[in-house]
Amino acid sequence: MRHLLSPLDFSVEEVDHMLRLASDISENPDKYSHVCDGKKLATLFYEPSTRTRLSFEAAMLNLGGKTLGFQSAQSSSASKGESVADTIRVISCYADIAAMRHPKEGAPAVAASFSNIPVINAGDGGHNHPTQTFTDLLTIKKLKGRLDNMTIGLCGDLKFGRTVHSLVNAMKRYKNVKFIFISPVELKIPQYLREELTNENYDFVETNTLEDVMPELDILYMTRVQQERFFNEADYIRLKDSFILTESKLALAKDDCYVLHPLPRVNEISVEIDNDPRAAYFKQVQNGVYVRMALIMILLGLDKEFPID
Ligand code: CP
């Protein structure tokens, strides 16, 4: 049995297989509409979500399966003190696979160690968000035709943004990828990530000016300042609008520099950009369903019945 806790749990070859399967699903959805007949996905969400939870549910429904779950810690027996370990043992009796979001880093890993079914990390605190990363990779691959030879700017809350941490870990495995980290000083990438990139000789730059680096970028990955991870409301208010992508800033970018955002958006991308052909964040949302369909198939061992090579 296999879990997904970090994007690095899958090798580059396995990620490539997943992305090819997701692309085939997007082109031939009917072929996959009964793959999970009789199977159940449990969504265990201890934190709010729109995209991740509903795209997991849509993915399982599209595959012919069924879903069950809870949307908040408050509506589950966690509110009565039940541990993650006990909850997953119980859910293992009800479902074939589970997706878990939790505010504490490592909670899905704890669940996996007690589980009899595959556990997918659907976001743990400020740590990882691997299914968002696979969604981002599929989107970049479809738009640019490659995942290597790329300069990617990551802008906003790079300290608490788990999508950033996961995406950097995933992208650094491809050749000639340069990272430009754009953030206020207080929201720079965590020290452990900086040390990893430095020790492994990756090409990266840290700056607090978006305009200066715009012309270099092949991908601009905008992120929201993560209000829920701040200890101090005043700091959040001071930092929340540090970077707002406007038409005038996007005018500095290449014609094929695509703008991604894991969403939800607050103020960091002006809505005037939504109709620009380079705005790719709603394409990302659609790709999230295909990637999660592919992932469910792989973790349940059902992909072998659908060779795509
Ligand atoms: N991208 C993402 O994780 O969105 P949700 O918080 O709505 O699931």
pLDDT in tens, 72-127: 999 999 999 999 999 999 999 999 999 999 999 999 999 999 999 999 999 999 99
pLDDT in tens, 206-218: 999 999 999 999 9
pLDDT for residue 259:
98
Nearest CA to ligand 1 atom 6: 49
| Closest to 291 (Cα-Cα) out of 101, 99, 105, 90 | 99
Q: What is the mean pLDDT of residues 242-257?
A: 97
Taking alpha carbons only, the member of 40, 64, 114, 47 closest to residue 84 is 114
Enter the tokens of residue 267.
């103020």
Distance from the CA of 235 to the center of ligand 1, in angstroms?
A: 23
Residue 226 has pLDDT above 90, yes or no: no
Residues recognised as catalytic: 51-52, 80, 101, 129
What's the Cα-to-Cα distance from 44 to each of 62, 86, 97, 268, 300, rounded to whole Å? 19, 13, 11, 29, 18
Say if residues 290 and 19 touch (Cβ distance below 8 Å).
no
Ligand 1 pocket list (CB less than 6 A): 49-52, 123, 132, 262-264
Ligand 1 atom closest to the Cα of residue 135 is 1
pLDDT tens, residue by residue, 38-47: 999 999 999 9
Q: In the chain, where are the structural domains located? A: 7-128+285-305, 131-284
Mean pLDDT of the chain, nearest integer: 96
Q: What is the pLDDT of residue 38?
A: 98
Asked if 225 and 187 count as a contact pair (C-beta separation under 8 A), the reply is yes
Q: Which of 45, 51, 72, 226 has the most ligand 1 atoms within 8 A of CB, as the residue to mutate? A: 51
Q: Specify the ligand 1 atom closest to the Cα of 122.
A: 3
pLDDT at 238 over 90: no
What is the percent of the chain where pLDDT is above 90? 93
| Spacing, Cα 199 to ligand 1 middle (Å) | 31
Per CATH, which fold does 131-284 belong to? Answer: Rossmann fold (3.40.50)
Residue 212 confidence (pLDDT): 96
Compute, in angstroms, the gap from residue 309 CA to the centroid of ligand 1.
31
Q: Pick the residue whose CA is nearest to atom 1 on ligand 1.
A: 262
The CATH classification number of 7-128+285-305 equals 3.40.50.1370
